[in-house]
């Protein structure tokens, strides 16, 4: 008889034959940097997550630095929003100041800068709006400016999340033109129009004031199209690509892993986090067990890099 149970007899034996292991060095923690002073503002829909002003964000970054994870993904929340997202590319914007601060005080943390206009526009869309249209080609130069200004501030990796066509090429050209030839682009290539982002929109104050994001983010039904989006971003010069959300799109992650050879990131998004936290708070699930199972599933499906709000907790639970 074939006895699979022989290799399951003890934790030592199971560990010996384990196919997938989590490591702190592949985890990235999202951080929200808000304009203002003395702010540590809890995000109600995301227990444990806060908005931080530049004078206090060090409290959170100390924890990140001690945790041993790879780095942070920075989202800025400006005080002033307008039609052209001017704070997104202003030298003294809250995001730029925060990136400079991290670069100076935490030289070993990787800084990934999210590049998108929605936190900075008065209407909350990820691009320039004319009438009710989100205009692709007018958005590209603004994204390119934002990318350059965050690279100037010291970001290690530029991560465009807007889903405009042609943005990777536009950003690559602008970075190169500004002398940032060595700054990689991690593109949110397969980003779906997902209900799982709603807690994030509270955290980042970036909900669209009209309509939704379905004319630029992908239809959740389209797995093959996701592979075309990824292939196109690679052609345009992406150094790493991303699938987002992670858990409801593990099939996309697996197909991408099988087809492409560059590093693939998966974003375990806000709604995925909030559902786990809510169920755990009710005592319905074992939080540690569920988080490690979810992260292992994301890795098993093919992710090299996992962006997750659970990163600091997970780092305490992972011993590698």
The residues of the shown chain that bind Zn ion, judged by CB under 5 A, are 116, 118, 126
Q: In terms of Cα–Cα distance, which of 273, 254, 274, 272 is closest to 264?
A: 254
Look up residue 68 and give its two tokens. 């041993």
How far apart CA 222 and CA 87 sit, in angstroms, is 34
Q: Which of 40, 105, 138, 191 is catalytic?
A: 191
DSSP 70-108: -EEEEEEE-S--BTT-GGGG-TTSHHHHHHHHHHHH-TT
Site string for ligand PBG, 147-186 (x = CB under 6 A): --------------x-------------------------
Residue 257 backbone phi and psi in degrees, to 5: -60, -40
Sign of the alpha-carbon dihedral angle for 215, 220, 222, 224: positive
Applying the rule CB under 6 A, the residues between 19 and 38 that interact with ligand PBG are none
Least separation in angstroms between residue 104's CB and ligand PBG is: 25
CA distance linking residue 12 with residue 224, whole number of Å: 40
Strands 128-130 and 27-34: unpaired
Q: Which of the choices Zn ion, ligand PBG, none does residue 268 contact, using the CB cut-off of 5 to 8 A by kind?
A: none
Q: Which is nearer to Zn ion, 81 or 277 (CB)?
A: 81
Candidates 24, 56, 201, 257; binder of ligand PBG (CB under 6 A) is 201
Residue 56 interacts, among Zn ion, ligand PBG, none and using kind-specific CB cut-offs from 5 to 8 Å, with none
Total number of residues that touch ligand PBG (CB under 6 A): 11
Is 244 designated active site?
A: yes
- Among all residues, which ones are annotated catalytic? 191, 244
Binding site for ligand PBG (CB under 6 A): 114, 116, 118, 126, 161, 197, 200-201, 213, 269-270
């Amino acid at each position: 008889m074939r006895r699979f149970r022989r290799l399951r007899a003890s934790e030592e034996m199971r560990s010996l034959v384990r196919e997938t292991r989590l490591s702190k060095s592949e985890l990235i923690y999202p951080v929200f940097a808000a304009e203002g002073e003395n702010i540590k503002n809890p995000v109600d829909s995301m227990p444990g997550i806060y908005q931080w002003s530049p004078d206090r964000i060090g409290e959170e970054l100390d924890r990140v630095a001690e945790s041993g994870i790879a780095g942070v993904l920075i989202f800025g929340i400006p005080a002033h929003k307008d039609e052209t997202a001017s704070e997104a590319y202003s030298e003294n914007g809250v995001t730029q100041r925060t990136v400079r601060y991290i670069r100076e005080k935490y030289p070993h943390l990787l800084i990934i800068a999210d590049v998108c206009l929605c936190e900075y526009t008065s209407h909350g869309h990820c691009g320039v709006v004319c009438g009710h249209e989100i205009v692709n080609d007018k958005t590209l130069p603004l994204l390119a400016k934002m990318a350059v200004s965050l690279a100037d501030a010291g970001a290690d990796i530029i991560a465009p999340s807007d889903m405009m066509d042609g943005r990777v090429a536009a950003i690559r050209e602008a970075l190169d033109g500004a002398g940032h030839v060595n700054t990689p682009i991690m593109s949110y290539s397969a980003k779906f129009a997902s209900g799982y982002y709603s807690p994030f929109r509270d955290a980042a104050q970036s909900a669209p004031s009209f309509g939704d994001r379905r004319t630029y983010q992908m239809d959740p039904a389209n797995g093959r199209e996701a592979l075309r989006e990824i292939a196109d971003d690679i052609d345009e010069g992406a150094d790493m690509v991303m699938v987002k959300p992670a858990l409801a799109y593990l099939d996309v992650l697996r197909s991408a892993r099988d087809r492409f050879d560059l590093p693939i990131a998966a974003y375990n998004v806000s709604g995925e986090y909030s559902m786990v936290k809510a169920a755990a708070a009710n005592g319905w699930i074992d939080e540690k067990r569920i988080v490690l199972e979810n992260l292992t599933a994301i890795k098993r499906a093919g992710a090299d890099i996992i962006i997750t709000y659970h990163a600091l907790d997970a780092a305490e639970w992972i011993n590698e």
